[in-house]
Amino acid sequence: MTPALRREHRLARSFPRSKASPGELDRFIEPFGSGLHHLFVLRVGGKEWVGRKVLQHSETVGWYISSVLQPWMLLGPLAEWHWGNQGAVIYFHAVSAQEKETAFHNALTQSASEVRFPFPAMDDNGRECVCPPEYWQCNESLATQLDADEQHFRQHCTSLLRSLSSPGAVIHDPACSTGEFIAHLAGELPDRQCLGSDRSASMIEYAKKLHGTSAARFYLADARDIATTGIQCDVLILRFLNAEVMSRKDAQRAFLDMAAGVKPGGTILLFGHTPVLIAVPYMAQVLKLELISSVAARPGHTELFQFYRLRKTA
């Protein structure tokens, strides 16, 4: 086990351990290194809360990191934070567990709510950590990893697209990897046209082999080339503008390129296993997209996950 993973396990067993009484100031120190991209800020009701994504434990899968955030991961309302040799030193107001749950409930009912991750995944030299191209050569181990922790996204997308899209609508997943996600949508929404593409030939081969009998159609293409292929979609699903997949600069450029492939009045859904890298409200303003919502949760669950829904105005 690496030192970083050992620290994550220790943190998961002790988090949160507040030393302050409710209302008092407390602090949390995130040292420079691989844990910085787990820090998040929840904006709700005009107030910013700070939290930290932490390993969770399940009897079936053991210890794992999820894109689903829980109220106990919140530290409290943010007072200030400093950056120095220690890393990120965060000062916050201590609150009760009930206040944390209330903040999550309010985030789902207030349209201006958003979850942001200030730091990307970084390597030991302080540069953005991006997986090399050879990492995406498909195999069973990678496929299992990519398809894990997706159920909440599939459920939410399926429910949303039943009401947002009409029969015959084109739903495009331009970085479909194993094809599991778009094949699920094709099975749940059989009267829509579900397309999956990827720049990795091994991924497309795997998707066709595994989902060849589904209604989804797969083809080889780079997501950045959507606008030049002539394919116009009603729904664009972006699951890869995320930490470890690409840099912030590349994610912004890709978003600009791909938004052009959406029909007027169409929908863009933006989310991912790791934090979304782009500043979505700013990019929506630049491209004159309507930002409808930024967070989501499954019915009956006290949770949040990043899930941006945008509409391309006519």
Structure confidence by residue, pLDDT tens digits, 180-213: 999 999 999 999 999 999 988 988 999 999 998 8
Burial of 310 (0-12, 13-18, 19+ CB in 10 A): buried
| Residue 231: pLDDT over 90 | no
pLDDT of residue 227: 66
Element (H, E) at 285: helix 280-287
Verify that 101 and 202 share a domain, yes or no: no
Band of residue 2 on the pLDDT scale cut at 50, 70, 90: confident
What pLDDT score was predicted for residue 139? 74
User: Count of residues for the chain?
Assistant: 314
In a shared domain, residues 147 and 196: yes
Q: Residue 127 has what pLDDT?
A: 85
Q: How confident is the model at residue 116 (pLDDT cuts 50, 70, 90)?
A: very high
Strand partners of residue 43: 48, 114
Chosen domain end from 61, 89, 119: 119
- Mean model confidence pLDDT for the chain: 91
Give the residue from 119, 146, 175 where a domain finishes: 119
Average pLDDT over residues 212-229: 85
Q: Are 247 and 253 in contact (CB under 8 A)?
A: no
Average pLDDT of the segment spanning 63-81: 93
Please indicate, yes or no, if residue 124 is contained in any of the structural domains. no
Rounded to an integer, the average pLDDT of 215-243 is 88
